[in-house]
Amino acid sequence: MNVRLAAAVPAYTPEFVERGYNNRAAVADYQAWFDRWAARSREAVAALAPRQDVRYGRGAKETLDLYLPSGRPRGTLAFIHGGYWRSLDKAEHGFVAPTFVAEGIAVANVNYDLCPGVTVADIVAEIARAIAFLQREGARLGAPAAPLVIAGHSAGGHLAAMMHATAAADLGAETHPVRGAVSLSGVHDLEPLPLSSMNAELRLDAASARAVSPVRRTPQTAAPLLLAVGANETGEFLRQTDLLWDAWPQARPKGMERPLRVPDRHHFDVVMDYEDPESALTRATLALF
């Protein structure tokens, strides 16, 4: 379908795309943040003893970890990690779980196979299988998928938005199962990425980039989609957030007049706001349940 994109679309060059999308180049101490994620995630595993590596599909990394509250959960948060569809793992993202578990919400920390071993389209299909698995087996495993909220950071934000634009039948349900979704620092128009250095692994061309761009699709649910981004992220990540806000007005959460820009946060520390139960990001996510 044709979707009118925001007017201020830049003239793409490889140099422009690299400045706008290479977050590791934009944040010099990115490795320190990866290390902090991993350390905090080990603490979460030690404290909450999740059920790890629950298989939802046949792919090597089609597994998830289930973090469960002590009582009956009042819903499930499916969290999808980032890494430009080519790196990182659920093992570095368990730190997201404790805040929600303390609120009585089960957390499914979802893994997926990575490029170049699979394509971005393959990963979209894997996440759909994970959601279908939670529909089918979640209650038996202590993570009832009613209500279900999907949240993702960076590439995970893209994947959460793609689930919003995926038909209910492809998510294992008769009616769309998503109560709400969060795209945090997500990429919603992938068309610039064939010009990036990451494309050596992503292997996108113009057609395949369009095919997996949420802005080229229509939401398949009336559920709200929270769009959030660190205020100190690159101009392109700010624009990508505004782009889906403009393209999907029907998905805007009630009472929000604009996407959530988290003050004083860049691409790698913004997701750690999920450790703070009083952060604007956490409160807005909890409001989706």
Give the tens place of pLDDT for each residue, 147-165. 999 999 999 999 999 999 9
Q: What is the SS3 assignment for 148?
A: strand
* Number of domains making up the chain: 1
H or E, element range at 242: helix 235-247
Domain that holds residue 65: 14-286
Is residue 178, in this structure, part of any structural domain at all? yes
- Model confidence band, residue 12 (pLDDT cutoffs 50, 70, 90): confident
Is residue 1, in this structure, part of any structural domain at all? no
Q: Is the Cα torsion angle 286, 241, 151, 161 positive or negative in sign?
A: positive
Is residue 7, in this structure, part of any structural domain at all? no
Buried-exposed string 102-124: b where 16+ CB fall within 10 A, e elsewhere: ebebbbbbbbbbbbeebbbebbb
The span from the CA of 186 to the CA of 217, in Å, is: 15
Is residue 9, in this structure, part of any structural domain at all? no
Is residue 74, in this structure, part of any structural domain at all? yes
pLDDT of residue 10: 61
Other CB atoms within a 10 A radius of the CB of residue 9 amount to: 12
Is residue 4, in this structure, part of any structural domain at all? no
Is residue 165, in this structure, part of any structural domain at all? yes
Is residue 166, in this structure, part of any structural domain at all? yes
Q: What is the CATH number of the domain that holds 40?
A: 3.40.50.1820
DSSP alpha helices (H): ranges in 49-191? Answer: 97-102, 120-137, 155-164
| pTM of the predicted structure, to 2 decimals | 0.95
Asked whether residue 46 carries a pLDDT value surpassing 70, the answer given is: yes
Instruction: For 280, list phi and psi in degrees, rounded to 5.
Output: -60, -35
The overall average pLDDT reported for the chain is: 96
